[in-house]
Chain A
Amino acid sequence: MGRIQIITISVNLLFLCYVIWLIIKGKLREEYSFVWIACTAILIFFSFWRDGLTYMSELFGVYAPPNLVFTGAIFAIFIYLLQMSVVLSKLYAQNKQLAQELALMKQQMANKPISAKNTVHDENNNDLP
């Protein structure tokens, strides 16, 4: 086993431990940890099977094996970033809804007196969505 293999395998295992520790501590949600564990697994797999990279490169018709690594990694990162944007968008929508409902509730709680023609009516609201 080459020196580089030992380094990559140990770094990968440390990384895996860190991901698991984050989940246990409740700092990372399980659904987002999946992609990190999968990436680490792939890296460990190719650390053991060194010829695997050359084999895969030939299979895809890539001349230099490192190029396959970069292409694959960048692609994976893009997909994951897109996934993060989706998560953020969903969070934004939920956040907005919470803020709006909070504003409406605070108004209801305040019971502010409003003058004659400016009146709040509570009837007719039986057709709520």
Chain B
Amino acid sequence: MKKIAIIIPAYNEEKAILGVIEELHKLLENIYFILDIIVINDCSTDNTAKLIAKSNCIDLHLPINLGIGGAVQTGFKYAYEKGYDFAIQIDGDGQHPPHEIPKLLAVAQEKQADVVIGSRFIDKKGFQSSAARRLGIQYFMWLNYFLIGKKIKDTTSGLRLINRKVLKVVYDYYPDEYPEPESIILYALHGFSIAEIAVTMRERQGGVSSINTFSAIYYMLKVSLSILYTYIRIKFQHTK
């Protein structure tokens, strides 16, 4: 039986995290997999630590705040070390409905995809984010398309599945800040097959986005640069 790790990075998610874990447990009742819930508390300043310590999940507590990339990577490291076949990353704020998880698994197994990304923009259903954010997401789609020749519509989606082959790569390197668009480049250049499927997302149930208006410009610049650096680094490694 396949072993699946659900990885939930949580930073100050006291309002939503228990709801997410509960929903996942309901999902567990009618799924034929070994499925573990791994919550990474990224040194939250609210009650997240206490809440997840008491709930029925594997709780990892970072002693310092590493940001989303470092937190997710902690989960990936756990999943790789414990021999999981798949790792599925979902947000701790309730944006990603757990009932979409079986869809990701089905695609990973049927289409033999190494990476499966849940996308808001294929069926254009559910929460679609603001126009400004969609513009940013599209910019990354074109940047990635230009570099790897593959169109991933929802480049910032945090609902993803990766298999064990990919886990081995992200064990060693995973971007720190705003890892989503950059990791797509990483996966593509390592030769992993990426599938994107339609999912319906909700508006966050609590907490705040890791990207606010003031840091939007920094975000765009930082991620663009990171994508280019990653592209050059991996291209260079492969030709060496």
Which A residues lie at the B interface, using CB under 8 A?
95-96, 99-100, 102-104, 106-107, 110, 112, 114-115, 117-125, 128-129
Whether, in the assembled complex, B40 has its beta carbon less than 8 Å from a beta carbon of chain A, the answer is yes
B45 to chain A, nearest CB (A): 16
How would residues 24 to 45 of chain B score, 1 for a CB under 8 Å from any chain A CB and 0 otherwise? 0100100000111100100000
A104-B74, A119-B34, A121-B3 in contact; A114/B64 too (CB < 8 A)?
Answer: no
Residues of B within 8 A of A112 (CB): 53, 58-59
Residues of A within 8 A of B172 (CB): 129
State the 10 A-B residue pairs at the shortest beta-carbon distance, nearest first.
Answer: A124-B83, A103-B60, A125-B83, A100-B74, A103-B62, A99-B64, A117-B28, A107-B60, A96-B70, A99-B62
A100-B66, A107-B60, A112-B59 in contact; A118/B36 too (CB < 8 A)?
Answer: yes
B184 to chain A, nearest CB (A): 22
A18 to chain B, nearest CB (A): 32
- 25 residue pairs of the A-B complex, CB under 8 angstroms, read A96-B66, A96-B70, A100-B70, A100-B74, A103-B40, A103-B60, A104-B74, A104-B78, A104-B81, A107-B61, A112-B59, A115-B56, A117-B28, A117-B34, A118-B25, A118-B35, A118-B56, A118-B57, A118-B58, A119-B34, A121-B3, A122-B83, A125-B82, A128-B80, A129-B171
CA distance A61 to B61 in the complex (A): 61
Residues of A within 8 A of B28 (CB): 117-118
Residues of A within 8 A of B111 (CB): none
Contact among A95, A104, A118 for B64, CB-based, below 8 A = A95
Residues of A within 8 A of B40 (CB): 103
Which B residues lie at the A interface, using CB under 8 A?
3, 25, 28, 34-37, 40, 53, 56-64, 66, 70, 73-74, 77-78, 80-83, 168, 171-172, 176
Contact among B3, B57, B63, B168 for A103, CB-based, below 8 A = B63
Residues of B within 8 A of A102 (CB): 62-63
Residues of A within 8 A of B80 (CB): 128
CA distance A11 to B106 in the complex (A): 73
Residues of B within 8 A of A129 (CB): 168, 171-172
Say whether A122 contacts B82, CB under 8 Å. Answer: yes
Residues of A within 8 A of B3 (CB): 121, 124
Residues of B within 8 A of A106 (CB): 60-61
Residues of B within 8 A of A122 (CB): 82-83
CA distance A110 to B52 in the complex (A): 13
CA distance A34 to B192 in the complex (A): 46
